[in-house]
Structure 1
Amino acid sequence: MIPKLARSTRPPHAAPAGFDRRLIAPMILGSVLNPVNSSMIAVALVPIGAAFGAPPSETAWLVSALYLATAVGQPVIGRLVDMYGPRRLYLIGTGLVGIAGLLGAIAPSLSVLIAARVLLGFGTSAAYPASMYLTRSEAERTGHDSPTGVLTALSVANQSVVVIGPTLGGLLIGAGGWRLVFTVNIPLSLACLVLGSLRLPKHSFATPPAKRAVDLVGMALFAAMLVSLMLFLMNPGVGGLYLLGLTAVAGSGLVLRELRVKEPFIDLRVLGGNLPMLATFLRQFLAFTAVYAFLYGFTQWLEQGRGLHASAAGLLLLPLSLTALAVAGATGRREAVRAKLVVGSLAQIAGCAVLLVVGSGSPVWLLAAAGVLMGVPQGLNGLANQTALYRQADPDRIGSAAGLLRTFTYLGAMGASAATAAFFAHGADTHGLHELALFMLAGAVLLLAVTLLDRSLRTITPTPGTPVSGSGKA
């Protein structure tokens, strides 16, 4: 059982024998708030820059601010979910999304708009850890551990929103200007608040929340370590080496603090002994470094190196998105974590090989084939790592573990952005694309090696019908 919380309290009619399907709508709607805001902003950067007279180097902070806030907020809020239950953090987080949407809708300057994006990052950090916690607690309540359908629904919903996000943003801007990209968060927030209030269970606490220690110092050190690291990744260079020094200092302080405090924010003793989960974090970083490197790099090359219009480049990304959705939907009902990761790694290697042979005169079918190949790992790897984490994490810390998984996703995004900037220093030409492909290929080979060497993946799936009883650590 999850020891921090006693049984959830629900109306008698809301306690079915199987997974409570009434939870699915608030779980999915809340979890897509982050990807929809991550993707919609892509088409709003130019009009926002024009409105405030800001260059791309300044409007880029609208993207980075959300990444930074989310990377820090996911594990922090996830830990609070573990301690105080999913309902209250879900409602607070989705409420912040509405406030951020209102702030963005009336923002008088770019700096206020960036602040709204920071608030969005923290607000959208609650729903995913809460959803993973609810999935685990439902398995505990019912005694039937079969979450693959729910985990697949979360993964497919998030991927679908990433696909339609730029299109939705474009429609909103066409209908009423770029401020609607922020305003749309107000009705989304209200919907989450209504669904969350009506459907998410209240929990009775074995230990009253007021008596629980919150490791604020550990959270602050973690935030300092992560922010300094991500700021360096956003603009790597000799001038930013001091950021790596700050990262090391904050990281050392975090280790010393977490090993001494009674209730640490990150239990390093448990985490250090859970090598399979650490391997999952590494795989998530490697997988999403490649995903974002392809999205950032290939798209830029299509427009500059291949000479395509932005709309045509967007259409050539459809095979990637459609393949990812189809693969995730077709394989989601079976856990098969190791098989998914092996196939995903091999497909990623094949996709990188195709990128190594494309050029300015390559036919469209070959460019589309690269998208199809890269869509396979996008549909498999993220879902497999999510399932692996669900099995490997300590049930008492499933929220913070889920948050850390998202943090490694955004570290991969930042790493990909830095790599793209380095290889396209003089423009997105074919030579730079081939160098980026070699970088992605090295990551794909490492991903395959980490997967094959992780013997715990062979036994990660529990016996069907067996209730959850432990953390799944190896």
Structure 2
Amino acid sequence: MTLDPSRSKRTELLLVIAVALGTLLNPLNTTMISVALSRLQDEFHLTFADVSWLISTYYLASAIGQPIMGKWSDLFGRKRVFMLGLCLVTLASCLAPLSPSFGWLIGFRIIQAIGSSALYPAGMGIIRSQITSNQAKALSILSVFSGTSAAFGPSLGGFLIHYGDWPFIFLFNFPFIAGSFILAWKLFPRDPKRTGSISDMDWSGVLLFSITIFMWLLFFLSFENGFNLWMLGVSIVLSFMFYRFELGKSRPFIDVGFLRKNGKVTLIYAQFILVNIVFYSIMFGIPSYLQRVQQMDAQQTGLVMLSIAGFGVLITPFAGRWIDRSGSKPSLLLGTLTIILGTLLLLLIQDQTSAAIIFIILSVLGISNAFNNLGLQMALYEFVSKEETGVASGLFMTSRFMGTILSSSLLAALFGKNITTAHLHSMAWVCAAIGLLMLFLTLRLPNSQQDLERD
């Protein structure tokens, strides 16, 4: 059922906002916690290696949870899964500040990650089924909330730590949860009769997928101590086993046969991984560089980093209208070109570069993030049916977390022992090379599904 044409545009906007308020919770909580790591080390008497598991387990749970929840939203109803996700985030946000030990805190963060993982695939399924015209405009609003909330995370986290303590990072979720819950309860259409049951899930595939992702995570995190050949070998073997196992299933957890037949979707996932390697390398690497080398305080650092989020918010609505008119490919071409430009401009930064110059350079990367995030979302849905939206959206966000894990590995290799301007420049060269690879992948994409069919 789609929205009645007589219903106002205001109702459509409120429906999009209901989804957006929920979907921002995952990326926002991904980065807000980063500024609290030092405080948590003191609170629980941990080393940095210990406390880093708070981030790694969140990435892992999100990477696994996104496709699972996407599949559940297709089987059991998108509204049900969306509301379940909000309830799990509420539970975790209530209990995490009361954690008696660090182990309990990790457990509550995992619940939070699983709950927030339900919101994007279920929400995207609702948007695609309810808003049939000018979807790029609707997705641009979602992108402002979810795509840029991660960029606001460090600044918000620093503010909350300064005026309170680390529990405030969890309590900050409640206004967004409440707004999303009320709007979703009132505006989301009733789910149709359930089309599946728990037994329909490919639980063997889920288990093998989880083990495979966990092994790749261990391999990526081992970069700081050198290249671990046996972990790489085990990860590759597990990936091949998972591919062969799912290929033989009639109702697989992840339809690898579909990915094999539709190489364009696989390219989009690969490109989204690359986008997030660059984005999170900047988001986690630059603040540390600004404080250690440029000697900026937390407030100055937060203001400079707002250039990425601020320009992303300003550009995204224009990108949405452009994509509605011209398709996703022009947006992706501009996005990849600005990534290359922005990362090369990082080479101009020296030990005493002014904050204003750094702000301008980072704003270019904020512009690129707007075009790439929205462009890749629309490119994905050009090649995916509405029925496959849930699982496709889940895999899309899994790709995001794979990129995040890879960015952590890159930063560990470059900044693990010391942070200097030379190390920043090395990161810039790597990210520029990734930008060139993104440009190659973008050029391989057809302009539309119709172009693909003609080929």
Q: Same fold (TM over 0.5)?
A: yes
- Matched ranges for 1:63-142 at <5 A: 63-139=55-131
| Structure 1 match to 2:305 | 317
Pair 1:222 & 2:209 matched:
yes
How big is each residue's C-alpha offset from its partner over 1:216-256, in whole Å with a ceiling of 9 and x where there is no partner?
Answer: 11111111111211222123255744433442333223222
Residues 171 and 372 from structure 1, CA distance in 2 versus in 1: closer, same or farther, beyond 3 angstroms?
closer
Q: Equivalents in 1 of 2:163, 2:198: separation in Å?
A: 50
Which residue identity is paired with 2:122? Answer: A
Greater CA drift, 110-119 or 56-65: 56-65
Kindly indicate whether the alpha-carbon contact (under 8 Å) linking 2:148 and 2:312 is maintained by their aligned counterparts in 1.
Answer: no
| Structure 2 match to 1:3 | none
Which residue identity is paired with 1:262? Answer: S
Q: How many residues are matched? A: 450
Sequence identity percentage: 28
| Structure 2 match to 1:347 | 338
Quote the offset at 1:175 in angstroms: 4.8
Q: Equivalents in 2 of 1:239, 1:354: separation in Å?
A: 30
| Structure 2 match to 1:426 | 417
How big is each residue's C-alpha offset from its partner over 1:187-243, in whole Å with a ceiling of 9 and x where there is no partner?
Answer: 5445444433332222223x7423972111111111111121122212325574443
Kindly indicate whether the alpha-carbon contact (under 8 Å) linking 1:304 and 1:427 is maintained by their aligned counterparts in 2.
Answer: no
Kindly indicate whether the alpha-carbon contact (under 8 Å) linking 1:393 and 1:401 is maintained by their aligned counterparts in 2.
Answer: yes
> What's the TM-score, normalizing by structure 1?
0.88
Q: 1:55 aligns with which of 47, 50, 57?
A: 47
Q: Equivalents in 2 of 1:38, 1:233: separation in Å?
A: 18
| Structure 1 match to 2:196 | 209
Q: Equivalents in 2 of 1:225, 1:334: separation in Å?
A: 39
Quote the offset at 1:43 in angstroms: 2.5
Quote the offset at 1:22 in angstroms: 4.4
Quote the offset at 1:461 in angstroms: 8.4
| Structure 2 match to 1:200 | 188
Q: Equivalents in 1 of 2:237, 2:328: separation in Å?
A: 36
| Structure 2 match to 1:231 | 218
Kindly indicate whether the alpha-carbon contact (under 8 Å) linking 2:73 and 2:390 is maintained by their aligned counterparts in 1.
Answer: yes
Give secondary structure in 2 for the equivalent of 1:126. Answer: helix
> What's the TM-score, normalizing by structure 2?
0.91
Quote the offset at 1:365 in angstroms: 3.6
Kindly indicate whether the alpha-carbon contact (under 8 Å) linking 2:75 and 2:197 is maintained by their aligned counterparts in 1.
Answer: no
Q: Equivalents in 2 of 1:440, 1:397: separation in Å?
A: 32
Which residue identity is paired with 2:438? Answer: L
Q: Equivalents in 1 of 2:123, 2:134: separation in Å?
A: 15
Q: 1:259 aligns with which of 241, 244, 247?
A: 247
Pair 1:302 & 2:290 matched:
yes
Residues 390 and 459 from structure 1, CA distance in 2 versus in 1: closer, same or farther, beyond 3 angstroms?
closer
Kindly indicate whether the alpha-carbon contact (under 8 Å) linking 1:97 and 1:124 is maintained by their aligned counterparts in 2.
Answer: yes
Q: Equivalents in 2 of 1:473, 1:172: separation in Å?
A: 54
Kindly indicate whether the alpha-carbon contact (under 8 Å) linking 1:279 and 1:450 is maintained by their aligned counterparts in 2.
Answer: yes
Which residue identity is paired with 1:446? Answer: L
Quote the offset at 1:21 in angstroms: 4.1
| Structure 2 match to 1:442 | 433
Pair 1:459 & 2:441 matched:
no
Kindly indicate whether the alpha-carbon contact (under 8 Å) linking 2:382 and 2:448 is maintained by their aligned counterparts in 1.
Answer: no
More helix by share: 2
Q: 1:169 aligns with which of 157, 160, 169?
A: 157
Greater CA drift, 175-184 or 62-71: 175-184
Residues 171 and 440 from structure 1, CA distance in 2 versus in 1: closer, same or farther, beyond 3 angstroms?
closer
Which residue identity is paired with 1:108? Answer: P
Which residue identity is paired with 1:330? Answer: F
Which residue identity is paired with 1:182? Answer: F
Q: Equivalents in 1 of 2:71, 2:205: separation in Å?
A: 12
Q: Equivalents in 2 of 1:420, 1:211: separation in Å?
A: 40
Q: Equivalents in 2 of 1:302, 1:21: separation in Å?
A: 38
Residues 179 and 148 from structure 1, CA distance in 2 versus in 1: closer, same or farther, beyond 3 angstroms?
same
Q: Equivalents in 2 of 1:189, 1:311: separation in Å?
A: 27
Which residue identity is paired with 1:84? Answer: F
Q: Equivalents in 2 of 1:173, 1:353: separation in Å?
A: 33
Quote the offset at 1:163 in angstroms: 4.0
Which residue identity is paired with 1:82? Answer: D
Kindly indicate whether the alpha-carbon contact (under 8 Å) linking 1:224 and 1:247 is maintained by their aligned counterparts in 2.
Answer: no
Q: 2:367 aligns with which of 370, 373, 376?
A: 376
Q: Equivalents in 1 of 2:15, 2:454: separation in Å?
A: 27
Q: Equivalents in 2 of 1:243, 1:103: separation in Å?
A: 35
Kindly indicate whether the alpha-carbon contact (under 8 Å) linking 1:133 and 1:398 is maintained by their aligned counterparts in 2.
Answer: yes
Pair 1:413 & 2:400 matched:
no
Residues 78 and 249 from structure 1, CA distance in 2 versus in 1: closer, same or farther, beyond 3 angstroms?
same
- Unpaired segments ≥5 residues, structure 1: 1-6, 463-470
Which residue identity is paired with 1:331? Answer: A
How big is each residue's C-alpha offset from its partner over 1:273-299, in whole Å with a ceiling of 9 and x where there is no partner?
Answer: 111111111111111111111222222
Kindly indicate whether the alpha-carbon contact (under 8 Å) linking 1:102 and 1:186 is maintained by their aligned counterparts in 2.
Answer: no
- Unpaired segments ≥5 residues, structure 2: none
Pair 1:289 & 2:277 matched:
yes
How big is each residue's C-alpha offset from its partner over 1:37-80, in whole Å with a ceiling of 9 and x where there is no partner?
Answer: 12221232222222111222222222222111111111111111
